[in-house]
Structure 1
Amino acid sequence: MFEFIRGKVEYVCPEYIVIENHGIGYQIMAPNPFIYTNESGKDTLIYTYHYVREDVAALYGFKTREEKALFARLLNVSGIGPKGALAILASGQPEQVVQAIENEDEAYLVKFPGVGKKTARQMILDLRGKLQDLVPDFFPNLFSAEDHKHQTSGYSHDFDEAMLALKALGYSEKEINKIMPELRKEQLSTDQYIKKALQKLLK
């Protein structure tokens, strides 16, 4: 229904962003909403997936059409809902997800929230050999050297927001508490805390 929405980023929270377009605020669920923090108030284009079921209607947003396409394909896998698909995309390393599916690496796939052995096996059965078109020419490495540290006195607030975002993605208190001590040693933006946390959670 909606291919994309272009508008100003009005609000960012652990689960979603709000894009204002001609006086209407669109609530859009995103894999890592805090990547839009630096775009607050700026004109932004976000590719959207309109998810409709009998009891829910929601918009999900992505940086690229390819991300959106991968999200849609994950939804076709039995056992994976929108929240699970977002958690997989939030890792910022979809190439590794595709590689894990192609290599039948269940041990990697079950590290995502809500993905057990049965679901991981289903992902492999349903998607293996069908995702190569999504790998080239997209998905910038969100853990690249371009991620510079933000040395600010407010980093603890960014840290707290990042922990809330991880909970929103479905990670348990136990999983989050395990990586918190090491993360607290660094001063990063919310977005960077999330990326680093996901790197550790997926090891």
Structure 2
Amino acid sequence: MFEYIKGKLEYISPEYIVVDNGGVGYQIRTPNSFAFSSKMGAEIQVFTFHYVREDIMALYGFKSREEKALFIRLLNVTGIGPKGALAVLASGEPEQVVQAIENEDEAFLVKFPGVGKKTARQMILDLKGKLQDIVPDFFPNLFNEESTMVEDHTNEFEEALLALKALGYSEKELKKITPELKKEKLTTDQYIKTALKKLLR
């Protein structure tokens, strides 16, 4: 229904961003909302997917058409809904997901929130050999935007934890990596990426 939305980035929460277009604020759920932190107040373009079901109607947004395409492919896998697809994309390393699917690496795929052995096997069955059109131009450029560093990183750390919880990670899982993360001085987006790498090891 909507290919993309252009507008001013007005608000960022752990689960979604709000883009003002012509006086209308569009609530758009994204894999990692804090990846847009450096664009607060500026005009952005978000590629969107309008998801409609009996119990939900929502806009999902992505930085590129290729990321959007991967999200749609994941939705076609039995057992994966929008939240699960966002959690997979939020890893910050989508090329690893494709590699895991191509190599039938179930052990890697089950590390994502909401993905059990059955769903991992289904991802491989449904997507193996069908993602090559996304890989060449998409993965090398994914999440290459650097966010502006700030002196006080307490808020960034707390925002990152909220985003990780929104993705489905439990308090127990997050407590295991919290000591390591607190040693770093990063932006919210960088905290999330670093945390996800540790959680997916």
1:18-97 alignment runs, 5 A limit: 18-97=18-97
Kept in 2, the 8 Å contact 1:149–1:188? The answer is no
Q: Which residue of 1 aligns with 2:14?
A: 14
**Cα displacement (A) at 1:92:** 1.2
Kept in 1, the 8 Å contact 2:27–2:59? The answer is yes
**From 144, 166, 169, the counterpart of 1:168:** 166
**From 182, 185, 192, the counterpart of 1:184:** 182
Q: Which residue of 1 aligns with 2:149?
A: 150
**Cα displacement (A) at 1:150:** 2.4
**From 182, 193, 196, the counterpart of 1:195:** 193
Kept in 1, the 8 Å contact 2:147–2:189? The answer is no
**Cα displacement (A) at 1:13:** 0.7
Change (3 A) 1:183 1:128: same
Q: Distance in 2 between matches of 1:21 and 1:78?
A: 34
1:122-141 alignment runs, 5 A limit: 122-139=122-139, 140-141=141-142
**Structure 2: 5+ residue runs without aligned partners?**
none
Which residue identity lines up with residue 114 of structure 1 in the other structure?
G
Q: Distance in 1 between matches of 2:54 and 2:13?
A: 26
Q: Which residue of 2 aligns with 1:2?
A: 2
Aligned CA RMSD, in angstroms, stands at: 1.3
Kept in 1, the 8 Å contact 2:48–2:68? The answer is yes
Which residue identity lines up with residue 135 of structure 1 in the other structure?
V
Superimposed CA distance per residue, residues 35-79 of structure 1 (whole angstroms, 9 cap, x where no aligned partner):
111101111000000000011100000000010000001001010
Q: Distance in 1 between matches of 2:160 and 2:103?
A: 31
Q: How many residues align?
A: 200
Q: Structure 2 length normalisation: TM-score?
A: 0.96
